[in-house]
Protein backbone atom coordinates (compact mmCIF):
# COMPACT_ATOMS: atom_id res chain seq x y z
CA UNK A 1 0.00 0.00 0.00
CA UNK A 2 1.00 3.63 -0.25
CA UNK A 3 1.27 3.76 3.56
CA UNK A 4 4.18 1.34 3.35
CA UNK A 5 6.35 4.26 2.20
CA UNK A 6 6.56 5.37 5.84
CA UNK A 7 8.28 2.09 6.75
CA UNK A 8 10.70 2.08 3.81
CA UNK A 9 14.29 3.25 4.34
CA UNK A 10 13.52 6.30 2.21
CA UNK A 11 10.36 7.12 4.14
CA UNK A 12 12.12 6.78 7.48
CA UNK A 13 14.96 9.01 6.32
CA UNK A 14 12.54 11.60 4.99
CA UNK A 15 10.55 11.65 8.25
CA UNK A 16 13.76 12.11 10.24
CA UNK A 17 15.43 14.74 8.04
CA UNK A 18 12.78 16.62 6.06
CA UNK A 19 12.73 19.56 8.48
CA UNK A 20 16.47 20.09 8.04
CA UNK A 21 15.74 20.97 4.43
CA UNK A 22 12.56 22.98 5.08
CA UNK A 23 9.95 20.29 4.38
CA UNK A 24 7.03 19.20 6.57
CA UNK A 25 4.56 16.34 6.35
CA UNK A 26 1.29 17.79 5.07
CA UNK A 27 -1.12 15.13 6.32
CA UNK A 28 0.17 13.26 9.41
CA UNK A 29 -1.36 10.11 10.90
CA UNK A 30 -4.03 10.74 13.50
CA UNK A 31 -4.69 14.31 12.38
CA UNK A 32 -7.33 13.55 9.74
CA UNK A 33 -10.02 15.47 11.64
CA UNK A 34 -7.83 18.57 11.53
CA UNK A 35 -6.42 18.34 8.00
CA UNK A 36 -9.49 16.87 6.31
CA UNK A 37 -7.25 14.35 4.52
CA UNK A 38 -6.20 10.80 5.26
CA UNK A 39 -2.63 10.10 6.32
CA UNK A 40 -0.22 10.50 3.40
CA UNK A 41 3.36 9.64 4.43
CA UNK A 42 4.77 10.77 1.07
CA UNK A 43 3.06 14.17 0.95
CA UNK A 44 5.56 16.84 2.04
CA UNK A 45 5.45 20.56 1.48
CA UNK A 46 8.30 23.05 1.43
CA UNK A 47 7.88 25.81 4.04
CA UNK A 48 11.50 26.82 4.64
CA UNK A 49 13.81 25.69 7.39
CA UNK A 50 12.71 28.22 10.04
CA UNK A 51 9.03 27.36 9.62
CA UNK A 52 9.73 23.62 9.45
CA UNK A 53 11.62 23.75 12.74
CA UNK A 54 8.94 25.91 14.41
CA UNK A 55 6.19 23.64 13.15
CA UNK A 56 7.96 20.51 14.39
CA UNK A 57 8.51 21.95 17.86
CA UNK A 58 4.90 23.16 18.06
CA UNK A 59 3.43 19.71 17.40
CA UNK A 60 0.82 21.29 15.14
CA UNK A 61 -0.25 20.24 11.69
CA UNK A 62 0.68 22.48 8.80
CA UNK A 63 -2.92 23.67 8.62
CA UNK A 64 -2.98 24.64 12.31
CA UNK A 65 0.41 26.32 12.09
CA UNK A 66 -0.61 28.41 9.08
CA UNK A 67 -3.91 29.40 10.70
CA UNK A 68 -2.10 30.49 13.87
CA UNK A 69 0.52 32.30 11.83
CA UNK A 70 -2.19 34.27 10.03
CA UNK A 71 -3.85 35.17 13.33
CA UNK A 72 -0.54 36.31 14.81
CA UNK A 73 0.28 38.45 11.77
CA UNK A 74 -3.11 40.16 11.99
CA UNK A 75 -2.38 41.47 15.51
Phi, psi angle pair for 55, to nearest 5° = -65, -45
Rounded Cα distance between 25 and 49, Å, is 13
Phi, psi angle pair for 41, to nearest 5° = -70, -10
40 is catalytic: yes
Active-site hit among 10, 20, 40, 53: 40
Active site residues: 40
Amino acid sequence: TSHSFAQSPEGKWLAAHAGEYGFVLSYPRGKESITGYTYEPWHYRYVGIAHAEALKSSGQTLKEYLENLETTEQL
